[in-house]
Chain A
Amino acid sequence: MTSLTLVRRIAARPSIVFDALTTPDGIACWWGPDAGPVLLAETDVRIGGRFRVRFRMLDGSEHESSGEYLEVVRPERLAMSWRWQGSEDPGESLVEIDLRASAEGTELTFTHSRLRDEDSRRSHEEGWNGALDKLQRHFSVTDRRYS
């Protein structure tokens, strides 16, 4: 309940996926929920380096997020802090991406969590005991995987 997890199986080798995630040219081609353009993409891919991406959606609204790279292990793992510019979701959250080589290419596991550091680790280590499954149903979240 404290994080969002998504998994994608991609027919491309991990290094190609990693570069798509971290290079401005790559980011410009996929970042954002619709076909609206990426207006700006800056990355400094090293621990302590920062990223900043601005995009426009098809409805004309513009959004910008930025953060700091916390873990950079090419082509296996990327962790970064995350913050929207402006007031749409104030506060910092954490993005973690793991890339595992598979027969098909890459299995990408993506996690976005509100909690950072100790809280987040504790939450993951404890695992998900299912207690809130019912609560999620109560709030009619049935077709998604939150952990």
Chain B
Amino acid sequence: MVNYNAQLDRTFAALVDPTRRAILARLEREDGATVSELAKPFAIKLPAVMKHLDVLDDAGLITRSKVGRTVTVRLSPEPMRAAVEWLRRYERFWSRSLDRLAAYAERKEAEARKSGR
């Protein structure tokens, strides 16, 4: 559970950055891309892209495999699934709780009006 927790924190921290999100979205579309292909759309230098890939790799969100001089990057979906599951659990809890909150507050409002407040 502690590892699971640390993993979630790493996943969400990695997802904060828009460049890293764009890289993940592209890998989702293309099922594998080389580092230079990934770097192309961004106005940043290759070493900066490599740093982003390191963060994504540390978070377990991508895998890198080297054939000759070419490094191919692929999406590793498991941490994303865990992150989505985390959001879903809270979505279930809060969506229903807030519906009940709304109903309760509306009853209270009706009572307040009735008693002229």
Among the stretches B22-30, B32-40, B48-56, B62-70, the one at the interface with A is B22-30
B26 closest partner in A (C-beta): A131
Instruction: Give the number of chain B interface residues (Cβ < 8 Å).
Output: 46
Flag if A89 contacts B89 (CB, 8 Å).
Answer: yes
Closest to B24 in A: A135
Q: B44 within 8 Å of A by Cβ?
A: no
Given contacts A11-B109, A90-B2, contact A21 B101 (CB under 8 A): yes
Q: 7 smallest A-B Cβ distances: which pairs?
A: A12-B109, A30-B100, A12-B105, A33-B96, A131-B25, A30-B101, A131-B21
Name A's B-contacting residues (CB within 8 A).
1-4, 6, 8, 10-13, 16-17, 19-21, 26, 29-34, 87, 89-91, 105-106, 108, 110, 112-115, 119, 122-123, 126, 129, 131-136, 138-139, 141, 144, 146
- 7 extra A-B contacts, CB within 8 A, seeds A1-B83, A91-B8, A132-B24: A6-B95, A12-B105, A12-B109, A30-B104, A31-B100, A90-B2, A112-B90
